[in-house]
Every structure is written in structure tokens, then in C-alpha cells.
Amino acid sequence: MPADPRAGERSAMVDTQIAARGVRNPRVLEAMRKVPRHLFITAEYQGAAYRDSPLPIGQGQTISQPFIVGLMTELLEISPGDRVLEIGTGSGYQAAILAVLGADVITVERIPEVARMAEENLEKAGISHVRVVVGDGTEGYPPGAPYQAILVTAATPRVPGPLISQMAEGGRLVAPVGARDIQELIRLEKRGEDITSTSFGGVVFVPLLGHYGWEV
Ligand code: SAH
């Protein structure tokens, strides 16, 4: 592989934005050092690819801030071979991180043009084990269920019921839940009939539009 001219910026991003703010899992930090984030960013924002912020990716959508990707990934506790469902493919960057951790990823995106862009980005970055599906992710994706981990990367008024049904025993689900303009990052864990919920503070995501999300 040719030397990556942006590896230094990426390493600094991991040290100062992610590890310094408390993401500890060494496998998550390593995955974020590895995946070339700039390949998931449009030409217009190349200079800002490793900046501490979300960025526009077209169609009114955004790629999440690097720290938020690190935090959500850590909360999912991915083991190699886990079946993982992501709702809101966007650029494909979050899906790439999950795949580098050894997960088998299905990611659902409602905007076909965005899904296509994500597929191109994933191919450029040489990422396999990610399947991009176009559809309403608030319904989940029953053919791949149950999932050890489910990640919602768009803001939802409540966790969509179908996603809870598609969690495996011992499974984790992470989602930004709340109002349209600000949400709380929550993590659910399924143990038998019990679902425990823990909150991880305020976040801002673009809305999840669909049957069990916000009205389209
Ligand atoms: N995870 C992405 C960022 C997601 S931005 C990344 O790594 O870049 C949120 C995405 O969710 C947008 O692309 C938006 O189109 C998509 N989205 C919104 N509602 C959706 C729904 N019901 N099903 C699937 N995708 C949805």
C-alpha cells in the first residue's frame, strides 16, 4: 500500500479528539487510526477531513464528528464476527470503522444517491463486509436479524420498536433519542426480557425520517 500522506493528521485526530476525551478501547482507537476518513469526505471539504466537527456530505446530510463516532463505536462493544446493523449510512465512514473491527455490517440508508456515494467511498477505502441497503431503517432489516449491535446515526423521537425486536440476546443498541434539534445518546442492552437503558449526554444529529422516526 502507498504511504498515506494524511496518516499524521489522522493520528493526531485520534490522540487529541478521541483518546483525550475518554475513548479507551484500544481496538476502537486502532480502527480510527486505520480508516482513511478523508476518503469519506467530499472534495469541497478535504481540508477539513480531520477537523473536530461534523461535515456536510451533500443532500442536507452530515458525517458525524470523529469523537462521536469513537464514542458510539466503543459503546457497541464490537467483537469480530458480530452481526451489526447501522441505520443512516451517510458517507459510509461509521460502517467502515465497524467493519475494520471485524463486524459483518448491514447499513440502511433512505436516500439512494447517498447510499451510492457510500458504496463508492467504501470501495475506494478497500473496505469489505459492509452491505448497503436502500430503505426505511426505522423498520430495521429483518433478513439479517438478530443483531449483536445496532447503531442509529440519525435523531429519533424514540427507539423504533422493530429495532428492539431485532436485537440479539445480550445485544447492544446505541441511538440519539429526543427532540428534533437536540438529543441524548442512549445505550440499550437486552438481557432476557429486560432492557436496560443508560444515557451518555447531549448530542445533535440530523433527523431519522420514516415510519417509526420523524414524519417525512
Ligand atoms: N453514519 C453516517 C452519518 C449519518 S447522517 C456516517 O458515518 O457518515 C444520517 C443519515 O441517516 C443520512 O444519510 C440520512 O439520509 C439517513 N436517514 C435518515 N432517516 C433514515 C431512515 N429512516 N432510514 C435510513 N436512513 C435514514
Q: Using CA positions, which residue lies closest to atom 16 of ligand 1?
A: 88
Which atom of ligand 1 lies closest to the CA of 88?
11
CATH of the domain at 154: 3.40.50.150
47 belongs to a structural domain:
yes
- Residue for cell digits 434539534? 181
23 belongs to a structural domain:
yes
pLDDT in tens, 86-114: 999 999 999 999 999 999 999 999 999 99
Q: Does this model's pTM top 0.75?
A: yes
216 belongs to a structural domain:
no
pLDDT in tens, 153-163: 999 999 999 99
211 belongs to a structural domain:
no
41 belongs to a structural domain:
yes
Q: Using CA positions, which residue lies closest to atom 4 of ligand 1?
A: 90
Nearest C-alpha neighbor of 53 from the set 110, 45, 157, 99: 45
Q: What is the DSSP letter of 143?
A: G
2 belongs to a structural domain:
no
The catalytic residues are 64
Number of folded domains in the chain?
1
Q: What are phi and psi of 35, to 5 degrees?
A: -75, 120
215 belongs to a structural domain:
no
- Give me the domain span that covers residue 155: 7-203
Is 60 exceeded by the pLDDT of residue 29? Answer: yes
137 lines ligand 1 (CB under 6 A): yes
- Give pLDDT, residue 2: 60
**Helix or strand or coil: residue 49?**
coil
Q: b vs e for 53-86, b when ≥16 Cβ sit within 10 Å of the residue's Cβ? A: ebbebeeebbbbbbbbbbbbbbbbbbeeebbbbb
Q: Using CA positions, which residue lies closest to atom 14 of ligand 1?
A: 88
Number of C-beta neighbours around residue 206 at 10 A: 18
29 lines ligand 1 (CB under 6 A): no
209 belongs to a structural domain:
no
